[in-house]
Amino acid sequence: MGIIIAGGHGQIGLRLAALLGPEAAGLVRNPAHVADVEATGARAVLCDLERAGLDEVARVVEGASAVVFAAGAGPGSGAPRKDTVDRGASVLLADAAGRAGVRRFVQISGIGVGKPLVPGRDEVWAAYIKAKTEAEEDLRARDLDWTILRPGRLTNDPGTGRVLLAPEVPPGAVPRDDVAAVVVALLDDQGSVRRTLELVSGDTPISDLAGRE
Residues involved in catalysis:
128
How far are the Cα atoms of 26, 155, 171 from residue 177, in angstroms, in the given order?
Answer: 17, 9, 18
Q: In 3D, which of 48, 39, 45, 47 has the Cα closest to residue 21?
A: 39
Q: In 3D, which of 210, 213, 187 has the Cα closest to residue 102?
A: 187
How far are the Cα atoms of 75, 136, 195 from residue 206, in angstroms, in the given order?
Answer: 28, 24, 18
| Run of H or E including 57 | helix 54-61
